Amino acid sequence: MKRTKHKNINGWIVIDKPQGMGSTEVVNITRRLLDANKNGHTGTLDPFATGVLPIAFGEATKLIAYVTDGKKEYEFVLKFGFDTTTDDLEGEPVHTGGKIPTPDEILQILPDFIGRIEQTPPAYSAVKIGGERAYKLAREGKTFDIAKRKVEIYALDFLRQISEDSFQFKVCCSKGTYVRTLGKDIALKLQSFGHLTALRRTKCANFSISDTILLENLKNMVYEEGEQDFLMPSQTVLRDIAALAISAEDAFKLRLGQKLSATACGVLGRQDEVMAAFEKDCLTALVRVEGKAIVPIRVFNL
């Protein structure tokens, strides 16, 4: 059968993901809404979680790693008294008991979780065990071990006490951090059991809540305004990377995979630095200075 031709759409849309919906489902919905040829997300956000979910379209998918590798921020609510099979409110209770800590007791142990720490990902996670997703094995009732991993916690703040047994926190962390596990480990450190009742991603690399669009609002905007009014440029994720202005002739060379002169472009002393090359306002390529040459790393057709 002849493949239906879709639109070549380039850029970013940041969705405020609703609870109960998977990241892949959001990708599929946005692709259909825009009739886009290609899109993808920047890392799975649990169905239980809400918040910042950047979706890359077209040439922006070449920049997904810059978002995936960036810092993440979350706000979460930890309920003490029992833990669950999934470490959140969707699982079944496992252990009950343990004390309900005071705010002062919580504040005393938080420094223990800042810096480079080890985590054991939850059984209900996307970690692969022998080629199978852990959550699939867990649902089948199989037993297995998950290797510990090191993650970075840059900041961890106690925000407020919500009720007698529930407390709200904010964390800034590296990729690969499981906030559900962090909550569970905080409870264990306080000689209790706990699970998350709310999890909201408030920042993902350069994207924050202020950049997000609700799915329902996106549907209305597509029908009423057209996609160009809410698409963020592909280069949005490159705010922290130096820009290199190049000529139309140099842009043509880079797109052919050819090198440029570092001397002629005035960047000879910036060895191994990655830059974003622009012809006027158009992103042409990501480049690296190697010796006396500027080498294209990734070329864009925008």
In sequence order, the 6+-apart residues with CB closer than 8 A to the CB of 73 are: 170, 171, 172, 173, 201, 202, 203, 204
* Residue 294 confidence class, pLDDT cut points 50, 70, 90: very high
State pTM to two decimals: 0.88
Catalytic one of 16, 46, 87, 211:
46
Task: Break the chain into its structural domains and give their ranges.
Answer: 11-70+206-236, 72-204, 241-299
274-279/243-246 β-pairing: parallel
Query: Does 250 qualify as catalytic in the annotation?
Result: no
**Averaged pLDDT, 257-284:** 92
Predicted confidence (pLDDT) per residue in 88-126, tens digit: 998 899 999 888 999 999 999 999 999 999 998 777 666
Query: For residue 1, is pLDDT > 50?
Result: no
Fold match between domain 72-204 and domain 241-299: no
Q: What is the CATH number of domain 241-299?
A: 2.30.130.10
> Taking the domain 72-204, which CATH number applies?
3.30.2350.10
Angle at 111 between CA 108 and CA 116, to 5 degrees: 155
C-alpha 99, offset from chain centre: 34
Per-residue DSSP letters for 175-223?
TT--HHHHHHHHHHHTTB-EEEEEEEEEEETTEEGGGEE-HHHHHHHHH
pLDDT(214) > 80: yes
| The listed CATH number (3.40.630.10, 1.10.3480.10, 3.30.2350.10, 3.40.50.2000) that belongs to domain 11-70+206-236 | 3.30.2350.10
